[in-house]
Structure 1
Amino acid sequence: MSSAEFFARAKARLSFDVPESLTDASIIPVTGDAGNDHMIQVVAQERPIRPAAVLIGIVEHEQPTVLLTQRSAHLNDHAGQISFPGGKIDATDASPLEAALREAEEEVGLDRSFVDPIGYLDLYATGFGFRIVPTVARVKPGFALTINENEVESAFEVPLSFLMNPDNHQVHSKDFRGVERSYYAMPFAERYIWGATAGILRVLYERIVQK
């Protein structure tokens, strides 16, 4: 799929309608990842909802890339893991989009003038109580990043073609409270992309590329 076709499909299939499940505890989201969905069902009974937003920034090079970060090792949540720029939705954020743009500026210094938002991907819930609204956006090349080392160790780009190739979507497993749960992983060079980040990328593939 060409980058032009990818962006055209994304614009046709996504919107900025905020899903009710972002804040409605009675709605248990389904991610399509059986292992993750089992964990969500368990944790939904124990933890309050933690609304969050991330930016799936697709950099419009001749061969598009996805902007990712490696989180700082000292953080309480997902320390050292590969992630999208993003974080919790604050009361002062007008929308999940505004939260994603703000967090991208705070974490890696991505100037929003380079970002062309396209729409929200399906809400993605995690076993830590987060309910994440991923914002898909086209990012113009030429930006300069300033890494906030309190939040992330580094930022890097991975070819979109690699991430949207189902041959690279591995299914790994680990124990969760005595039950083996599965999750997606997309190892790239020395980077181990897994968990919510890989799960969201899988949803992006299913929503935009596969259909």
Structure 2
Amino acid sequence: MILPSSGLMIPWLQSKLDAATHITAGDLGGEVMPESRKAAVLIPLVLHPDGPTVLFTERAAHLSTHAGQVSFPGGAYETQDADLIATALRETQEEIGLSPERVAVMGSLAEYFTISRFRVTPVVGVLQPGFDLMPDPDEVADVFELPLSVLLDTRRFERRMIERNGQRGFTHFLEHDGRVVWGATAGMLLMLARSLE
């Protein structure tokens, strides 16, 4: 996919997201779990002059769930949150110290249901370069960026069999520049890619 220049990226993104048909997805085949807890993540697109990137976190190795995995910043909805966009921005600030004022929210994708019983709303936001980050070492081992052009190439995703929580099923994997993006994060990237086709 040929992406527009950074100056045209925001209107292009907005028009694509507004026009997209958003389809619910999920881990291990996309089973909808009605008892799932609401959550949200931010898909942060950084508009560098030489091409946009996506900002990811690597979860801290000592965490009890998903330790060491690549993820988007985010977490569970809390009652003080005005909505799920507020959840994504609050959690992002708590995890990596990114001020919500730096994020231009473009819209949300459909819900993604995880095997850990969360119904996650991915929120797409745009950042201009030059922001400051202060990752919380209790939650985040690393913050890094990968090129959006690579992540939107659906041919790069592989389906592999995994077993989690006693259930076997297929999930998506993408490898680039020594990083492995898989599971819910890869699934949400695919949702984004299909929304921007």
Give the TM-score category using the shorter length. 0.7 to 0.9
Q: How far off is 1:74 after superposition?
A: 1.9
Q: In the alignment, what sits opposite 1:8?
A: 11
* Shift in CA distance, 177/127, structure 1 to aligned 2, threshold 3 Å: closer
Q: In the alignment, what sits opposite 1:142?
A: 130
For the Cα contact (< 8 Å) 2:36–2:113, is it kept in 1? no
Q: TM-score, normalised by structure 1?
A: 0.82
Shifted more, 172-181 versus 182-191: the winner is 172-181
Matching of residues 156-195 of structure 1 within 5 Å: 156-175=144-163, 180-195=168-183
* Shift in CA distance, 2/133, structure 1 to aligned 2, threshold 3 Å: same
* Shift in CA distance, 49/179, structure 1 to aligned 2, threshold 3 Å: closer
> Aligned to 2:146, what secondary structure does the other structure show?
strand
For the Cα contact (< 8 Å) 1:168–1:186, is it kept in 2? yes
Equivalent residue in structure 2 for 1:108, among 93, 96, 117: 96
For the Cα contact (< 8 Å) 1:114–1:141, is it kept in 2? no
Shifted more, 176-185 versus 149-158: the winner is 176-185
Deviations 1:57-116 (A, max 9, x none): 000012100000001122222121100010011111001111111111110111122210
For the Cα contact (< 8 Å) 1:6–1:208, is it kept in 2? no
> Aligned to 1:186, what secondary structure does the other structure show?
strand
> Aligned to 2:143, what secondary structure does the other structure show?
strand
Equivalent residue in structure 2 for 1:58, among 35, 38, 45: 45
Distance 2:175 2:161 in 1: 14
**Higher share in strand:** 2
Q: How far off is 1:36 after superposition?
A: 2.9
Runs of 5+ in structure 2 lacking a partner?
A: none
Equivalent residue in structure 2 for 1:36, among 20, 26, 29: 29
Matching of residues 67-106 of structure 1 within 5 Å: 67-106=55-94
Q: How far off is 1:30 after superposition?
A: 4.2
Counterpart of 1:61, as a letter, is: H
Distance 2:165 2:123 in 1: 32
Count residues with an aligned counterpart: 190
* Shift in CA distance, 78/36, structure 1 to aligned 2, threshold 3 Å: farther
Runs of 5+ in structure 1 lacking a partner?
A: 20-28
For the Cα contact (< 8 Å) 2:26–2:114, is it kept in 1? no
Counterpart of 1:126, as a letter, is: T
Identity score, percent: 37
Counterpart of 2:29, as a letter, is: N
For the Cα contact (< 8 Å) 2:43–2:125, is it kept in 1? yes
> Aligned to 1:52, what secondary structure does the other structure show?
strand
* Shift in CA distance, 67/177, structure 1 to aligned 2, threshold 3 Å: closer
Distance 1:95 1:3 in 2: 31
For the Cα contact (< 8 Å) 2:4–2:12, is it kept in 1? no
Counterpart of 1:14, as a letter, is: L
* Shift in CA distance, 100/178, structure 1 to aligned 2, threshold 3 Å: closer
